[in-house]
């Protein structure tokens, strides 16, 4: 995707060293990098350069990162990857609720950064009506509502299929428990995480090589799930 | 302390009631009637019978009734029995001597009785006083805190003087009086003014004292080393009074209380000093180990970065690995410090949700994979394990810390076991982390979960915060941590979490 036209990225972080390292890592992948040091500057820069994606640090000197997100979301749907220093899941969930697409906890590796960025950028890229998603030896055919593993069809219940489809549509990105529950069970089901656990266990047993140590249907501690492609 | 209406130090025996006089008259009447059946010539014996009756009466009645019985008996005897009958005349000298002797004996007996009774009464009061003081002393000695002591003292004085008691203690600068909360009446208005006066003048004031004031209570200073450290106030109901003995007792109480207050002050001071020394020590330990734990990985990062410049491909890979390990170690250390302060600040609120126990175990193993390298890891989670109610992140952190401990404190290549399951009965679920290392020394067992504690003699990675955080996180979720022996050798730590039935938990 970066081959045809370079994606324009905006980094909003007050730490010079982080910005520099991010620039090195991202420019090596042919991204076009813009920088801002404060929330205010970040917002005006976002309006000015119209980036394809934003990397936003939550701990900014002037505005709370979530406030920046809220103001940005008033007029823009640009994909946002949030950087946080906190382990606590409350911050991550709050950022996701405020409109972030995904998060990375500092310290993070280059590999993680690039994988997350690719996944969040894909949200706005014109996908040619993808009807088939593959990971590992699993193939999901959205049009036919069929899941195959190593070529053989896997029987899934309706809920299991819906859960898998939702994760596959957001593959590479985190989806919170609440998002899944709202999507699959409706607005009143947000306390039913118990069922979600059970369906996820079933899905893993049917699709994972080792269901006890899942490689693809991953758990995000205290936040939700993430379908990892490789 | 002098009463405006001075009382005897030895209080008189209580006055005899009309019942005692009636009893005396009755006895004499009965003896007289009974003696009438004896032959006339027995009149001398009748005199002895009267005397016997009077002596027996002494055992029951006071001086007045005894004297009355003596006089009545004398007249009855003389009039009825001594010849000539029914006249007050006495015929012989012998009869006269007998009658006189009888009269004197009965008077003396009456007097003696009174003295003995007064003595007994006095003894009883003295004993009461000694018992009261003993009770107070014991209550004060047993009291663990000053508040307990004051409560005990107030209760004792309330009981003993059927009064209300109030105590005010000087503040640290001895500038102001602070009434104690356990008081049985509040020090306000005139009472407060009198107490303040007593505090300033170090002398008794109020009712029963030489310095009567407008207050209803009487106030005594608590004095130690010539300093007033408080004021004891006693409010006796207006219709009651305090005898001199009771006033003495009250003063003894005040002395005892002053002693106790002073002791408490001294104890508090030494406690403060001990605490200060302790925190100094802790600070020192924290400082030492934090600087060691922070500086070591920093030194590694620094050295690796230096060497990277001229390194060949092979060495470069090694150095990068060193860098990564150092960074992970620093990251964990910072995490531990932050979590410890989260625990200590009391801001930790577990977010309980349904979790897959296997998921938690996996996440913990994933985050400690580098440290566990070289240790064969056996994970056992039952296939049919139902979702458990836990805070995912906290529990993951707990398991990661336990796994790290197991890896750091056991010889290379020894296995580590991570097990999950439901307790028989299904009330609780558990995670167990066990190893085949040296286990815990008995001395270590009790201190395991304290901060900054490391198994003696071994300097391994970490601040000694791990288990303290483990316990904090588990207790916050309503669980329990138990350290024990792994059957077959090694250490084993089990964390228990409540496993509520699905419905109850969903409603909660």
Highest mean pLDDT among A18-27, B102-111, B234-243, B436-445: A18-27
Fold of the domain built from segment(s) A8-122 = Rossmann fold (3.40.50)
Q: CA nearest B232: which of B268, B266, B185, B174? A: B185
Q: Write out pLDDT tens, residues A43-54.
A: 999 999 999 999
Q: Does the pLDDT value for residue B5 go beyond 60? A: no
Q: What is the mean pLDDT of residues B360-377?
A: 90
**Could you tell me if B374 and B387 are in contact, meaning their C-beta atoms sit under 8 angstroms apart?**
no
**What integer pLDDT is reported at residue B461 of this predicted model?**
45
For residues B329 and B336, give the distance between their C-alpha atoms in angstroms, rounded to a whole number: 11
Q: Write out pLDDT tens, residues B444-483.
A: 666 677 666 555 444 444 556 778 888 889 999 999 998 8
The chain B residue lying nearest A217, using CA atoms, is B359
- Is the pTM higher than 0.80? no
The chain A residue lying nearest B355, using CA atoms, is A197
**Could you tell me if A187 and A145 are in contact, meaning their C-beta atoms sit under 8 angstroms apart?**
no
**Architecture of domain A132-227 in CATH?**
Orthogonal Bundle (1.10)
Q: Which two tokens stand for residue B33?
A: 């009637």
For residues A206 and A202, give the distance between their C-alpha atoms in angstroms, rounded to a whole number: 6
Q: Does the pLDDT value for residue B420 go beyond 90? A: yes
Domain ranges of chain B: 18-133, 146-267, 353-507
**Architecture of domain B146-267 in CATH?**
2-Layer Sandwich (3.30)
Q: What is the mean pLDDT of residues B255-260?
A: 83
Query: Which of chain A's residues have a Cβ under 8 Å away from the Cβ of B340?
Result: none
Q: What is the mean pLDDT of residues B337-351?
A: 82
What is the β-pairing status of strands A138-141 and B416-422? unpaired
Q: Write out pLDDT tens, residues A53-63.
A: 999 998 888 88
The chain A residue lying nearest B366, using CA atoms, is A213
Highest mean pLDDT among A163-167, B219-223, B435-439, B448-452: A163-167
Q: Which residue has the higher pLDDT, B286 or B299?
A: B299
β-pair partners for B230: B169, B222
Q: Which of B321, B341, B356 to mutate to test the interface with A (most CBs of A within 10 A)?
A: B356
Q: Which two tokens stand for residue A219?
A: 């758990």
**Terminal Cα distance for chain A, rounded:** 18
* Chain B from 340 to 369: CB within 8 A of any A CB: 351, 353-356, 358-359, 362-363, 365
Fold of the domain built from segment(s) B353-507 = Heat Shock Protein 90 (3.30.565)
Q: Does the pLDDT value for residue B181 go beyond 80? A: no
- Contact (CB<8Å) A107/B359: no
Q: Which of B321, B355, B419 to mutate to test the interface with A (most CBs of A within 10 A)?
A: B355
- Contact (CB<8Å) B387/A213: no
Query: Which of chain A's residues have a Cβ under 8 Å away from the Cβ of B398?
Result: none
CA distances from A180 to A167, A216, B499 (A): 9, 17, 25
Q: CA nearest A83: which of A63, A62, A100? A: A100
**What integer pLDDT is reported at residue A203 of this predicted model?**
93
Span of A9-18, B15-24, B25-34 with lowest mean pLDDT? B15-24
- Number of A to B CB contacts under 8 A, please give it: 49
Give the relative orientation of helices B466-476 and B392-408 as an angle to the nearest 10 degrees: 150
For residues B303 and A185, give the distance between their C-alpha atoms in angstroms, rounded to a whole number: 55
Number of Cβ within a 10 Å radius of residue B270: 10
CA distances from B437 to B434, B486, B489 (A): 9, 9, 7
- Contact (CB<8Å) B362/A212: yes
Q: Is B473 on the interface with A (CB under 8 A)?
A: no
Domain ranges of chain A: 8-122, 132-227
Secondary structure class of B257 (helix, strand, coil): helix
Q: Which residue has the higher pLDDT, B28 or B8?
A: B28
Mean pLDDT of chain B: 81
Q: Write out pLDDT tens, residues A88-142.
A: 788 888 899 889 999 998 888 888 899 999 999 988 776 656 788 888 889 999 8
- Contact (CB<8Å) A197/B387: yes
Q: Which of A21, A188, A197 to mutate to test the interface with B (most CBs of B within 10 A)?
A: A197
Query: Which of chain B's residues have a Cβ under 8 Å away from the Cβ of A191?
Result: 506
- Contact (CB<8Å) A222/B327: no
Distance from CA of A179 to the nearest CA of B (A): 15
Give A59's DSSP letter: B
Query: Which of chain B's residues have a Cβ under 8 Å away from the Cβ of A180?
Result: none
**Could you tell me if A82 and A58 are in contact, meaning their C-beta atoms sit under 8 angstroms apart?**
yes
């Amino acid at each position: 995707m970066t081959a045809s036209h370079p994606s324009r990225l905006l980094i909003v972080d007050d730490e010079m060293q982080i910005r520099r390292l991010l620039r090195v890592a991202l420019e090596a992948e042919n991204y076009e990098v813009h920088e801002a040091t404060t929330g205010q500057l970040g917002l005006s820069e976002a309006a000015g350069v119209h980036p394809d994606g934003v990397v936003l640090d939550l701990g900014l000197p002037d505005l709370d990162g979530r406030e920046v997100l809220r103001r940005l979301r008033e007029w823009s749907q640009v994909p946002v990857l949030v950087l946080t220093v906190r382990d606590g899941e409350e911050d991550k969930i709050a950022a996701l609720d405020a409109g972030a697409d995904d998060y990375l906890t500092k310290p993070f590796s280059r590999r993680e950064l690039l994988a997350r960025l690719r996944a969040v950028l894909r949200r706005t890229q014109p996908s040619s009506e993808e009807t088939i998603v593959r990971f590992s030896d699993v193939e999901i055919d959205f049009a036919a509502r069929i899941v195959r593993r190593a070529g053989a069809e896997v029987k899934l219940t309706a809920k299991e299929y819906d859960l898998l489809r939702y994760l596959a549509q957001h593959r590479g990105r985190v989806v919170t428990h609440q998002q899944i529950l709202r999507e699959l069970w409706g607005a009143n089901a947000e306390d039913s995480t118990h069922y979600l656990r059970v369906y996820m266990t079933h899905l893993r047993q049917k699709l994972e090589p080792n269901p006890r140590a899942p490689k693809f249907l991953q758990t995000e501690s205290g936040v939700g799930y993430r379908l990892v492609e490789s | 302390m002098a009463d405006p209406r001075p009382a005897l130090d030895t209080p008189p025996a209580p006055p005899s009631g009309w019942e005692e006089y009636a009893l005396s008259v009755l006895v004499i009447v009965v003896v007289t009637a009974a003696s009438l059946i004896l032959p006339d010539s027995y009149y001398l014996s009748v005199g002895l019978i009267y005397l016997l009756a009077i002596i027996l009466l002494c055992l029951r009645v006071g001086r007045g009734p005894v004297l009355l019985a003596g006089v009545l008996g004398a007249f009855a005897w003389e009039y009825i029995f001594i010849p000539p009958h029914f006249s007050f005349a006495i015929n012989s000298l012998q009869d006269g001597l007998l009658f006189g002797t009888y009269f004197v004996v009965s008077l003396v007996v009456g007097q003696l009785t009174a003295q003995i009774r007064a003595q007994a009464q006095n003894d009883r009061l003295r004993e009461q006083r000694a018992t009261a003081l003993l009770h107070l002393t014991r209550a004060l000695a047993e009291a663990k805190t000053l508040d307990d002591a004051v409560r005990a003292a107030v209760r004792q004085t309330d009981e003993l003087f059927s009064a209300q008691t109030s105590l005010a203690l000087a503040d640290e600068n001895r500038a102001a009086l602070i009434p104690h909360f356990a008081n049985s009446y509040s020090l306000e208005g005139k009472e407060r003014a009198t107490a303040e006066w007593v505090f300033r003048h170090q002398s008794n004031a109020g009712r029963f004292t030489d310095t009567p004031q407008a207050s209803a209570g009487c106030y005594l200073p608590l004095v130690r080393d010539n300093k007033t450290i408080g004021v004891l106030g006693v409010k006796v109901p207006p219709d009651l009074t305090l005898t001199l003995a009771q006033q003495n007792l009250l003063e003894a109480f005040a002395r005892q209380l002053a002693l106790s207050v002073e002791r408490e002050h001294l104890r508090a001071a030494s406690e403060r000093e001990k605490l200060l020394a302790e925190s100094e020590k802790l600070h020192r330990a924290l400082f030492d180990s934090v600087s060691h734990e922070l500086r070591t990985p920093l030194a590694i990062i620094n050295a690796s970065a230096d060497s990277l410049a001229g390194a060949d491909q092979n060495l470069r890979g090694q150095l990068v690995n060193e860098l990564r390990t150092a960074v992970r170690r620093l990251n964990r250390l910072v995490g531990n410090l932050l979590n410890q302060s989260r625990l200590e600040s009391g801001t930790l609120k577990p977010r309980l949700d349904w979790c897959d126990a296997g998921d938690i175990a996996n996440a913990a193993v994933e985050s400690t994979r580098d440290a566990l390298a070289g240790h064969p890891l056996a994970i056992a989670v039952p296939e049919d394990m139902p979702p458990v109610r836990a805070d995912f992140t906290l529990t993951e952190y707990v398991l990661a810390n336990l796994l790290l401990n197991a890896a750091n404190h056991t010889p290379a290549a020894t296995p580590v076991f991570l097990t999950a399951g439901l307790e028989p009965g299904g009330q609780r679920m558990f995670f167990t982390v066990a190893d085949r290392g040296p286990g815990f020394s008995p001395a270590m067992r009790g201190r395991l979960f304290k901060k900054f504690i490391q198994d003696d003699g071994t300097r391994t990675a970490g601040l000694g915060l791990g288990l303290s955080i483990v316990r904090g996180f588990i207790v916050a979720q309503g669980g329990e941590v138990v350290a024990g022996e792994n059957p077959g050798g090694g250490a084993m730590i089990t964390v228990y979490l409540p496993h509520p039935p699905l419905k109850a938990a969903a409603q909660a």
